[in-house]
A and B are shown apart, each in its own frame.
Chain A
Amino acid sequence: MYRVLIVGMISSTILYVCGLLLLFLQNPNPLQTEITHYSNFRELVQQLLAVRAAAVLTFATIVLIATPITRVLLSVFVFAANRDRKFVLITGIVVLILLISVVLGYFWNLSID
């Protein structure tokens, strides 16, 4: 399971380095940052394909946040495979809380726009 953590750590690190390099290649002058957020997934993918720095950095952040979440999802399967019902339930609650935080964040995003 620690491989998930290592793979997540290394890939997000590489993405952050690439994103920062792109940032300075694309904008040689100091820039005012506006928090860039993509309102939908398609927009992010389009910007990623266009290799925009902000999109690469956003993707790096997604990989980083997804790493521990993948670990939790994996352990649900491991506990299920071992027929450990109590721990499938316990880990399931954690997954549910993660889902709630996405929903709450989404509504907050809508409320400030």
Chain B
Amino acid sequence: MVEVTVTFLTICFLAAVLAGFLGGLFGIGGGIIIVPFLTVFMSVPIHDAIAISLVSVIATSNAGGSSYLEQRITNIKLAMYLEVATTAGALIGSVVTLLLRSWVLFMIFGVLLTFVALSSFKSRASDERRMIRNEFVDAKQDGISKYLGLTGSYFDVSQNKQVDYRVNGASKGALISSFAGITSGLLGVGGGIIKVAAMNMFMNVPLKAAVGTSKFMIGVTAAVGALLFFVAGVVDVYVLAPIALGTTLGATLGTLIMNKIRSYVLKISFGFLVTYFAYTMFAQGLTLAFGINLPMLG
């Protein structure tokens, strides 16, 4: 039982603004911040935290996704194709969550955070090099991609030119996307990082188009798990309200300034924050499973 006071709601709201802001800035849903925050700092049971986070991820996606659609960066056909994989995965993930014990969820979440932390310390391979070599246009489409006509084009403002691309690796991309879906339903996150990686690294989609398309998909992917949890009656609307409001506000701000700042320092500090959360989730899992108490550092 959580005691809902004005202070409790205010803290939740402020943390959610930060999570939404970082989410908009780094192209993630913000769930990877919401769940550790609610469980470790606000003592919300992890199953409840996952359900709350998943619904708030929809709010982030609504806020961020619409601006990419407006700028015509989103590849709608590609999104529809991959959504089959992500929603199927999300269905499996959310059912499994209801069946798993808390400490197992803490451990799996810790693993996810570790990966996110590692990837934020590593710099991304440059898209510009691939554009100069015309890799995006010259790629040979695979069978599925050709059958569905998966090609795309968007106007890149920072480079001041039209970027065309042809999708390949459609089956590999779908496989990785289904894994992103499982993660979403299982842990209450959007899974955007995995989707962006699948499109950019394996399907020949330029990074900006991948981020826009991923944002668009996150809403539907999260809706599968959110719908299941909501109908199952495990969503606590009192805690959800400030979180959803905060992430919406934060995500709107984050998306607005995303194109204006390129701060290396910000990315590194984000990496440290996620590393810290990974540690606390493992610590919590160990306490629940074996009664081992690691120092919580905070």
Q: Which residue numbers of A lie inside 8 Å of B, CB to CB?
A: 1-2, 5-6, 8-9, 12-13, 16-17, 19-20, 23-24, 30-37, 54, 57-58, 60-62, 64-65, 67-69, 71-72, 75, 86-87, 90-91, 93-94, 97-98, 100-102, 104-106, 108-109, 112
Contact = CB atoms under 8 A, between A and B. Distances in A.
Given A60-B244, A86-B147, 13 more contacts: A2-B69, A9-B63, A20-B241, A31-B4, A33-B238, A58-B237, A61-B55, A67-B58, A68-B223, A72-B83, A87-B148, A90-B81, A97-B88
Nearest to B48: A35
Contacts of A5: 62, 65-66, 69, 219
Interface of B: 1-6, 9, 48, 55, 58-59, 61-63, 65-67, 69-70, 76-77, 80-81, 83-84, 87-88, 90-91, 94-95, 98, 147-148, 219-220, 222-242, 244-245, 248
Main secondary structure, interface of B, reads helix
Main secondary structure, interface of A, reads helix
Given A101-B94, A109-B232, A75 B76 contact: yes
B267 to A, nearest CB: 27
A33 B44 CA distance: 11
A23 B62 CA distance: 25
17 contacts: A5-B219, A20-B241, A30-B4, A31-B3, A32-B3, A33-B2, A33-B238, A57-B240, A65-B55, A67-B58, A68-B58, A97-B87, A98-B87, A102-B227, A105-B228, A109-B231, A112-B233
